[in-house]
Amino acid sequence: MKIAIDGPAGAGKSTVARALAQRLGFVHLDSGALYRALAWVALREGVDLGSGADLAHLLATCRLAPLPDGVSVEGVALGEALKTPQVDAAVSQVAWHPAVRSEMVRIQRQWGEGRDLVADGRDIGTVVWPEAEVKIFLTATLAARAERRAAEQPGLDLAQVEEEIARRDEKDSARSVGPLRVADGARLVDTTALTVEEVVDRLVELVRPKP
């Protein structure tokens, strides 16, 4: 069974997807971490973020692989390094290239083959697994999303975080391949006024409705 959770930056997708997967005994695929990992290697290697061909070549050679709940590059798991402002600033540009996206979709489908999983991202219900049994579009106001991001990384200026998220949403929504949009058949869940627990309860109810 596949559960697809899409939505804008800071809506709580990864936190909620991880908790939901745990409750259901499924694995969690954090697709944003894949794009972040490629941005991280590209910055490290000084690859031109404007070149889809160079990024696709890097993706084919850096041994990027999903892990349950994370990602590894060259066999090494990456964690907090993926959450830096430098990666935040680069990732939408990396994710914009069709050549990068098509390979990322292939990697995700291959990894998910035969697995029960909860995957979160921007194009899971529209492109990666349009046949997912349950599709959710998780959203919240821009202010709430910026506050959550800022709380995760103390020291960041709230107004700047808000600006950065709005810029990323705009770029993620405007691209021609795999743009952020509500998938056909997706249920909209607004998390602005809900705790993580409350969101997960609601999603469990969508996945396994009480008789």
Return d(Cα 182, Cα 131) in angstroms, integer.
Answer: 14
Instruction: Output 123 or 162, the one with its CB closest to ligand DC.
Output: 123
Return d(Cα 22, Cα 204) in angstroms, integer.
Answer: 11
SS3 177: coil
Instruction: Output 73 or 124, the one with its CB closest to ligand DC.
Output: 124
Sheet holding 76-78, edge to edge: 64-67, 70-73, 76-78
Instruction: Report the nearest approach of ligand DC to the CB of residue 53 (Å).
Output: 18
Place of tokens 């259901």: 24
Instruction: Report the nearest approach of ligand DC to the CB of residue 21 (Å).
Output: 15
Cβ distance 120 to 13 under 8 Å? Answer: yes
Q: Which two tokens stand for residue 96?
A: 């914009």
Instruction: Report the nearest approach of ligand DC to the CB of residue 201 (Å).
Output: 22
Closest CA to 178 of 113, 121, 114, 119: 121
Instruction: Report the nearest approach of ligand DC to the CB of residue 35 (Å).
Output: 4
Return residues touching ligand DC (CB under 6 A). Answer: 9, 31-32, 35-36, 91-92, 95, 121-124, 168, 172
- Report which DSSP code applies to 8: S
Instruction: Report the nearest approach of ligand DC to the CB of residue 210 (Å).
Output: 30
Instruction: Output 24 or 120, the one with its CB closest to ligand DC.
Output: 120
Instruction: Output 26 or 121, the one with its CB closest to ligand DC.
Output: 121
Q: How many residues does the chain have?
A: 211
What does the radius of gyration of the chain's CA atoms come to, in whole angstroms?
Answer: 16
Instruction: Output 95 or 161, the one with its CB closest to ligand DC.
Output: 95
